[in-house]
Structure 1
Amino acid sequence: MRSSSTPITRRSILGGMAAATVIGWSTSHQAWARESDSFAHTAASLPALDGTLETSAGVTSTFNHDFGHMVTGACWAVLRPGSVQDIVKMVNYARANRLKIAMNGRGGQNGDEESHSCYGQAQVPQGGIAIDARGLTKIVRIGSSSAVVEAGVTWAQLTDAALARGLTPPALTDYLHLSIGGTLSVGGIGSTVARYGLQIDTVKSIDIVTGNGDLITASPSCHADLFNTALGGGGQVGIIVRAEVALIPAPPKMTVFTLYYNDVTAFLADSEKLMAEKRFEGQVGEIARTPDNSGWWYKLEGQAYWKGNTAPNRTALLTGLHDERASATIEDLSFREAVFRTDGDEAWLKENDFWGQPKPWLSLFVPASKAKAMADLLTAELNGDDLGAGFLLYYPYPTSKLTRPLSVQPSEPTAYLCDVLRFPAPGADIARMLDQNRRLYDKAVALGAKRYLVGAIPNMTSADWRTHFGARWKVLVAAKRRYDPAGILTPGQGFFG
């Protein structure tokens, strides 16, 4: 008899081999049954698949952790889809057998692919089915203004394919080796948010398998309620399998201006001035440790695109700012070098044993009127050990640029991304950092902040989530009831308890 690690394929399901392994889920025994099991007759037969369903511990164990390495799941089966129809079939199977199911983005590169959620958001409980997004990695079409891609394609793959045609996605995350379907489920933020919003704001349509097992094409004009609750909705109404995303002409080069400030008020004022004047195509900011690690200072990065062979006017771009000019750096990079810069950071973090450690990140949207208060709170609360080899992003954007309803924002015209991206050293007190995250989150909410779904905030209750979504909570609940009434999709978000 074949071992239980043998994939379940169309051939074995249909009896092409006499000694099939797992044949289906037994609800009465709460277990995946093999032909040799005494309770095999109680198992619901699996559908024929173009891909495989794998149940060996060697496979499932790699889906029971994520990038955060703080929450351990209990996935018992992994679907490696050979087609979108495999996902349709297994969603229907999961619903009929009361199993949970979730897409796992498998971000990363060089053999270290894993879910890039930080706190178990993409995990499933015992018996549940994880879908390997790497089974859907086709770039279907690249046109003059958009690309159609399957959900497992990474932004790195799409960026390289688009650059070959002189194009780029307008909104890119800082780290590009993330699945497109995964970031569209949470938002996707990067340096051009002040111009183009989140990645979900650049999507023209999606193909999505709902919790009812229906494959639907949704857009702003067709099934708009599904479109608007799938994008940034944490995987609660369906599994995104394909998307059409916008493309724009790519510049050949980028000049990166890095400015430093000792005074937080000057840093915030210049950050908002540059955003309002749209001097730079991309803009980010950071609250950073000083070079001697004795305290904090503030870093502002402006990204100016070249027009053909014409470099940006450096003098004009820096006029009227109040940075510590002697510390400023200016660098000319090819566009690809610029957008793939974090690959070098990744390599360093891996070489120095930070990448695989637990990472209790905290991601917030803070109203601009409270930006100084939040910055002061962070610099008083955190120290160098709290960040480790990580960093604390802090930069403004107009909230009007974020158009999808479930990317809930502070009720002000301008907000700040506050992203505490910790990479602690081995042996760090992670429990203390999680408690710190919860304390900072509660204080931020009192200031009018909202959270970004990727972070690690312990003990979130349904009441906390209702407060977060505010008036849009009813929209999410109504969509959940309509498109996933059995509640089988992406339970790790914990929105509903």
Structure 2
Amino acid sequence: MTPNRRALLHAGVSATATLASLALAGPSRGPADGPFASAASNCNPEACAAAGEDFGHIIHKQPRAVFRPTTIPGIAGILRWAAEQGLTVAARGQGHSIYGRVMTEGGIVIDLGALATIHRIEPDRVVVDAGATWHAVLEATLAKGLVPPVLTNYLGLSVGGTLAIGGIGGSSSRHGLLTDKAIELDVVTGEGRQLTCSPTSNAELYDAVRAGLAQCAIITRATLRLVRAPERVRRFQLSYPDLPSLTADQRRVLAEARFDQLQGAVVPEAAGGWRYLLEAGVFHDGDSHPDDEALLAGLSDRRGSAVVTDFAFRDDANAFAKLEALLRANGQWFNPHPWLLVFLRGSNALEIASEVVAGMKSEDIGPFGRITCYPMITDECRTPLVRLPDERIVFVFNLIRIPVSADKTNAERLVAQNRELYDRIRGAGGVLYPASAFPMSSQDWADHFGVQWPLLRDAKRRHDPGNHLTPGYNLL
């Protein structure tokens, strides 16, 4: 074994690395023939091509190399080497970015897929590597009768990727975001330093990393809050004739805390027009059954269209997997996904949402897409970099577009529409959720983060002074 190869393995880097050419282009600020450069010259076109795409299928960027580290020190070594070479770095979990934010043109992609160990489960917490999916976390914790208080609707996302954005799920209406449930985070900064951060240790970095768009550091391990897992979920889908009646009932059941999960959507009708749906769930154990009549008392839904079902908690949490299987089978999973995700002020949510829906065509969403619209209480939302309208009740409002074709011109049209809608929504006091498909300038980001902008900007300058990490956001 050569010294370079031995050093590479000691650093914990699996040599699924790719270079567009055998040598690093441009002037080198460090040794270009070290162990990482040697591995990078081991071309793997498939890995490079995969890292040049994301779930959005709108932006395409060709990395210079892809590394798949197996240890946290391996990540630190890659980051130090990349900084010496003047190369940008993007960490990749499950690749579910939708506008090229976690890709890099000519830089290094760190694939975290091999860092997916669930290390420890205690009565109130789980310690898990950032590359693990929420599905894996759920399976492990359910075996102990435990579950995170909030889960994403799609469990195929990685832990680290979700915490870098925020993380919203059906229980967010009452319990905040996933970043609010992170007790402690292990990270590697842009300079290659391994640090642990929490509210009491490196608190400034803790606040800059949660929902910090991977600008200061790469999350490598997380300690997350757990609660007792329910056995079953009583699921309610209620239909409404219009958006005002839907949102009125959503506000009522939220204020009265009738449900453990609360969401809702506007979905295309096969014959044209829209359906307005309230979607909610109540947790219960097998020997106790919720009182359906009491839960639905006084609501103005079309009761004859109500759908009430009951699932094991695991099956309910994995419900999106059925849609994923369908979309993969018909090919739409691989089409562009020009999504727009925002929060609306509760005080004008109905007005703004109504305007947007009125201007939408069903083909702008797709037959399997939806416009999600539901309220949440912000009392439990304490992550500084998760930006929300300054009101106690805000509305999650998302255009989950699933086009029927891969037409590039149509995708570009929808991206342009997203930008127009965002400008209108921002002017009305709405706030972006950063998993959205349209270009953002550095000034846009400064405006988005508002009073918290100095927190993120200064942390990036301190922990990633070379501005190497996650260039796709165009933050600085």
- Return the TM-score normalized by structure 2: 0.93
Q: How does 1:111-260 map to 2 (within 5 A)?
A: 115-126=95-106, 128-260=107-239
RMSD: 2.2
Match status 1:493 vs 2:473 = yes
Q: Distance in 1 between matches of 2:295 and 2:164?
A: 35
1:437 corresponds to? 418
Q: Which residue of 2 aligns with 1:75?
A: 63
Distance between the aligned counterparts of 1:313 and 1:359, measured in 2?
Answer: 39
DSSP-derived class of the 2:126 partner: strand
Q: Against the structure 1 CA distance between its residues 280 and 12, is the aligned structure 2 distance closer, same or farther, given a 3 Å change threshold?
A: closer
**Equivalent residue, structure 1, for 2:442:** 462
Cα deviation digits, residues 248-287 of structure 1 (max 9, x gap): 1111111001111112212111111111211111111101
SS in 2 for 1:400: coil
CA distance in 2, matches of 1:28, 1:288: 51
Q: Distance in 2 between matches of 1:53 and 1:312?
A: 61
Tell me the SS of whatever aligns to 2:201: coil
Q: CA 1:30 to 1:295, structure 2 compared with 1: closer, same or farther past 3 Å?
A: farther
**Contact 1:365/1:452 (8 A) holds in 2:** yes
Q: Please, what TM-score do these two structures have when normalized by structure 1?
A: 0.89
Does the 8 Å CA contact 1:54/1:77 hold for their aligned counterparts?
A: no
| Equivalent-residue separation in structure 2 for 1:397 and 1:170 (angstroms) | 15
Residue by residue over 1:434-454, the C-alpha shift from the partner in whole angstroms, topping out at 9 and shown as x without a partner, is 111111111100110111111
Residue 374 of structure 1 corresponds to 352
CA contact (8 A) 2:58 2:337 kept: yes
* SS of the residue 2:379 aligns to: helix
Q: Match for residue 89 of structure 1?
A: 77
1:411 Cα deviation from its structure 2 partner: 1.3
Alignment partner, residue 356 of structure 1: 334
Specify the alignment match of 1:110 in structure 2: none
Partner of 1:100: 88
> 1:300 is matched with which residue: 255, 278, 285?
278
Question: Do 1:181 and 1:241's aligned partners in 2 also have CA atoms closer than 8 Å?
Answer: yes
Aligned equivalents of 2:5, 2:226: Cα separation in 1: 37
Provide closer, same or farther for how the CA distance between residues 28 and 440 of structure 1 changes in structure 2, counting only shifts above 3 A.
closer
1:63 aligns with 2:51: yes
Return the offset for 1:25: 6.2
SS of 2:245's equivalent in the other structure is: helix
Q: How big is the shift at 1:495?
A: 1.6
Which residue type is aligned with residue 459 of structure 2?
A
- Distance in 2 (CA, whole Å) between partners of 1:154 and 1:268 is 33
Uncovered stretches (5+) of structure 1, i.e. residues with no partner: 1-7, 15-20, 32-41, 107-114
CA positional deviation for 1:289: 1.9
Q: Secondary structure at the match of 1:419?
A: strand
Structure 1: distance between partners of 2:257 and 2:475: 37
Structure 2: which amino acid aligns with 1:273? Answer: R
What CA distance in whole angstroms lies between the structure 1 residues aligned with 2:125 and 2:151? 14
Which amino acid is 1:494 matched to? N
Given that 2:40 and 2:65 are in contact with CA atoms closer than 8 Å, whether structure 1 keeps it comes out as no
Amino acid at match of 2:113: R
SS of equivalent to 1:333: strand
1:36 alignment counterpart: none
In the alignment, which of 362, 376, 387 is matched to residue 384 of structure 1? Answer: 362
Confirm or deny: 8 A CA contact 1:81 1:132 kept in the other structure.
Answer: yes
Partners of 2:463 and 2:101 lie apart in 1 by 19
Going from structure 1 to structure 2, the CA distance change for 1:53 and 1:245 (only over 3 Å counts) comes to farther
Task: State the shift of 1:43 in Å.
Answer: 5.1
How far residue 13 of structure 1 moved from its aligned partner, in angstroms, is 8.3
Question: Which residue identity does 1:78 align to in structure 2?
Answer: V
Q: Distance in 2 between matches of 1:492 and 1:363?
A: 18
Kept after mapping to 1: 8 A contact 2:8/2:35: no
1:369 is paired with a residue whose SS is coil
How far does residue 30 in structure 1 lie from its aligned partner after superposition?
Answer: 7.3
Which residue does 1:10 correspond to in 2? 6
Output the CA distance in 2 between the equivalents of 1:319 and 1:55. Answer: 63
Letter of the structure 2 residue corresponding to residue 355 of structure 1: W
**Residues 19-72 of structure 1, C-alpha deviation per residue, up to 9 Å, x if partnerless?**
xx98996464579xxxxxxxxxx95233479x9885422221110010000001
* CA gap 1:54/1:394 in 2 versus in 1, 3 angstroms: farther
Q: 1:250 to 1:124 in 2, by over 3 A?
A: same
Which residue in the other structure is 1:38 paired with? none
Instruction: Give how far 1:325 is off.
Output: 0.8
Question: What stretches of structure 2 of length at least 5 have no aligned partner?
Answer: 11-17
In the comparison of the two structures, how many residue pairs are matched? 461
| Distance in 2 of aligned mates of 1:196 and 1:54 | 47
Q: What is the letter of the counterpart of residue 333 of structure 1?
A: F
1:85 partner SS:
helix
Match of 1:3 in 2: none
- Correspondence 1:387-398 to 2 at 5 A: 387-388=365-366, 389-398=368-377
Give 1:102 deviation, angstroms. Answer: 1.4
